[in-house]
Amino acid sequence: MRRLTLILLLAYLALPAFAVQPDEMLKDPKLEARARHLSQELRCMVCQNQSIDDSEAPLAHDLRVLVRDRLTKGDTDREVLDFLVARYGDFVLLKPPLQWDTLMLWSLPPVALVAGLIALVVAARRRSVPPTPALSADEERRLADLINPGP
């Protein structure tokens, strides 16, 4: 019984949590699907790491309503995104386009990965100890005298 409860709890936690309220949803399933798709591409300006589809912030609610309103007025997906980008800037997009002003944002993860790999290789090479050469007969005699000093 415990296992079943644990499995059900984990399955419930694994399901995505959507903040879309029933009163926000459109009656046309195709328009609603487009609205949900767009909502998953737009960043909540309050939460900043969630889409407006996942966020319960009041601003996210307003943006979801705005997206649905624009779609019911006949805007294309591109027109809705362009409208929101014009109003809030590229920051409203969860995946901002590659431009000169976002170049650092896009290039930093690969550069950090390469720098980390280089640091690991350098650290591994410094750790490797070169083989010690064999002692000469004179060195072995002196070592034996140091270890076993005579009376």
Q: pLDDT digit string (tens) for 49-84?
A: 788 888 888 888 888 889 888 988 988 989 999 999
Looking at the fold, whether 20 and 90 belong to one and the same domain comes out as: yes
Looking at the fold, whether 86 and 106 belong to one and the same domain comes out as: no
| DSSP track, 99-140 | -GGGHHHHHHHHHHHHHHHHHHHHHHHHHSPPPPPPPPHHHH
pLDDT band (50, 70, 90) for residue 47: confident
Q: What is the pLDDT of residue 118?
A: 96
Looking at the fold, whether 93 and 105 belong to one and the same domain comes out as: no
Q: Which domain holds residue 139?
A: 101-147
Which pTM was predicted? 0.56
Q: Could you tell me which residues come within 8 angstroms of residue 53 by beta carbon, excluding any fewer than 6 positions away?
A: 18, 19, 20, 36, 39, 40, 42, 64
Number of neighbours of residue 70 by Cβ within 10 angstroms: 19
Q: What is the pLDDT of residue 16?
A: 47
Looking at the fold, whether 89 and 120 belong to one and the same domain comes out as: no
pLDDT band (50, 70, 90) for residue 115: very high
Q: Structurally, how many domains does the chain consist of?
A: 2
Q: Name the more confident of 17 and 48.
A: 48
Residue 80 maps to which CATH number? Answer: 1.10.8.640
Looking at the fold, whether 125 and 56 belong to one and the same domain comes out as: no
Distance (Å) of CA 135 to CA 140, 141, 143, 144, 147 = 6, 10, 10, 12, 15
